[in-house]
């Protein structure tokens, strides 16, 4: 069942674009690990937040991706730029009016 992970990452003042750069680097590993969509964004109203919305083929594929070396390296690189404030939610996709 398609799994959605939607989140906000609090970033240290002025470091937002560095976090965006890390998260948007082209990754063939993600696609090969069951990642269907991975969109990174920003909002002028929240200058110290990075937004991410992800779709995966399953919750298991998402969980497994966190153990990939390339993903662990990206997390380690971004972590010093983050405040530790995380938001968001996870859910199982059950349908779409577009299908």
Binding residues vs a second copy (CB under 8 A):
2, 4, 6, 8, 20, 23-27, 30-31, 35, 37-44, 46, 51, 53, 55, 87, 89-99
Check residue 64 and report its DSSP letter.
Answer: H
Picking from 28, 16, 9, 29, the residue whose alpha carbon sits closest to that of residue 69 is: 29
Closer by beta carbon to a second copy, 11 or else 35: 35
> Taking the complex as a whole, how short is the minimal distance between the CB of residue 36 and a second copy, in angstroms?
8
Are the beta carbons of 37 and 55 closer than 8 angstroms?
Answer: yes
Closer by beta carbon to a second copy, 79 or else 90: 90
Side-chain-facing half-sphere of 12: CA atoms under 13 Å: 8
Closer by beta carbon to a second copy, 76 or else 98: 98
Q: How many angstroms separate the CA atoms of 93 and 69, rounded?
A: 27
> Taking the complex as a whole, how short is the minimal distance between the CB of residue 15 and a second copy, in angstroms?
15
């Amino acid at each position: 069942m398609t799994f959605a992970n939607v989140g906000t990452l609090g970033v240290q003042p002025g470091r937002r674009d560095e976090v965006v750069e890390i998260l948007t680097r082209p990754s063939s590993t993600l696609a090969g690990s069951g990642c269907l969509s991975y969109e990174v964004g920003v909002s002028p109203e929240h200058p110290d937040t990075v937004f991410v919305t992800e779709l995966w083929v399953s919750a298991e594929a998402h969980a497994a991706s966190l153990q990939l070396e390339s993903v662990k390296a990206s997390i380690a690189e971004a972590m010093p730029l983050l405040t530790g404030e995380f938001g968001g939610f996870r859910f199982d996709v059950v349908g779409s009016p577009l299908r």
